[in-house]
Structure 1
Amino acid sequence: MPKGLLYLTVFLLSLSSFCQKDSLALNYDKTKIVQKEISAQDIEVYKNDPNFNYEVVQNDAPEWWIAFKNWAGNLLIRFFEWLFGVNKASGALNLFLEFLPYVLLAVLLFILVKFFLNVNARAISYAKKNQATMAMSEEEHIIKNENIQKLIQEALANNNYRLAVRYYYLFILQIMTEKELIDWQIQKTNEDYLKELKQERLQHPFKDITRLYDYIWYGEFPMDHEKYQKAESSFSTLKQLLSNG
């Protein structure tokens, strides 16, 4: 091998070794370090930022409410994280999630109150309907089967003047039914019977005793012997007209 070629080969190998060693050398940062001063104003900014407030606030709410709120909040947070692909709610969404448990509880209470009110209303309506049906059935039995004049005398003997007025009114209906002046039916009202009366001379007296009957019996107006005699006078007048007709 020529000497020149040998020297060139040795030189290139030496250069390659030098480059490898140089590439492994550490470069130290010789920039001068400047110490950062933190002022009291800088600290105050962080103290006033709620995101850096780690104080534990004592909560006086019942444990069941705290558990419900945490459960609902965590459930909704996971849902919105899945829905929007976020790791943590912020801004308006965070505010919405904070108030949502209260809204859900209010809706739940509203549904429960409405449910119980509806149940109670249906029960009251059913009781009233049953009571009205029983009363009407009793009236039907009295008009069709009983000696109403005897019932009136028994009520007066017991000083039950309100009941006597009721029997007297049913007695008038009984007479008008027998004379075919009205068609008594259990579902009809007293106003229906007034419209059925064709004779004008009977309409006004019947309207008067109907008003008395409603006021005394349904209005639970207290009655004594003197008040009964005044009411009985109106009933007797209509009874006399029916007898003459």
Structure 2
Amino acid sequence: MNKYLIIIFFLLFLNLSQAQDSLAVAQDTVATKWNQKDILVDSSAIEKRAFAKNYQQKYKDSDFVYERQAAEINAWERFKQWLITQILNLFRLGDPKTAITILKVLAGIVILVVIYLITKALINKEGQWIFGANSNKKKINYNDIEKNIHLVDFEKLIQESLKEDRKRLCIRYYYLWLLKVMAENRLIEWHVDKTNSDYLYELQSKPLKEEFTYLSYLYNYIWYGEFDMDEKSFQNAQNRFKNALKSFGNE
């Protein structure tokens, strides 16, 4: 038995020795290959460089400034940005430039409307500037006339208006004069708060209804519509009212 153990140990020792010899040979082979590898050496000359004089000035340009303090936005700029945002959302736009264009168009429209309203306010119903040469003429309180039509001499007022070439005002006086005649002949019950439709409903005669309907239309068109009449148009309207005053006065 001891003989067999000695043989086994001998074989194991032999195998171990062979393995160590193989490892040593492998290491020698790798070292040989590493020593044979070419090693590149940079033999070029090193050039010494220096910074240009005052080189810092070059980098003070705005293109090299990467840290900027945000400009403070005033209330007007914030309002414009808010409007642009609203337009972008309203029209579902993606380009702010388009929103700015729309904003400019809207601003132009607003300016035109304001100019129109200011001009409208500075011109009276007779088409004259309130600060013009005719502003010193005697002003007539139209409300007082309407409240007291039974006491007003409309024929005198019409003659005075004709001298001043205020044709539209003449037509207004003719219409109020017609209401006065209708009330005096008990065709209507006059009241300052009544409308033309109220008076039309009170009239019983069909011909008078038709005539009053046309004269009401004529009056509204000329007075409230600020229709600029020439001499021929005024004469036609005046003659129509004069005939109506006779017709309604004879009822």
Shorter-normalised TM range = 0.3 to 0.5
> In proportion to residue count, which structure has more helix?
1
When Rg is computed on C-alpha atoms for both structures, the one with the higher figure is 2
TM-score, normalised with respect to structure 1 = 0.46
- Normalising by structure 2, what TM-score? 0.46
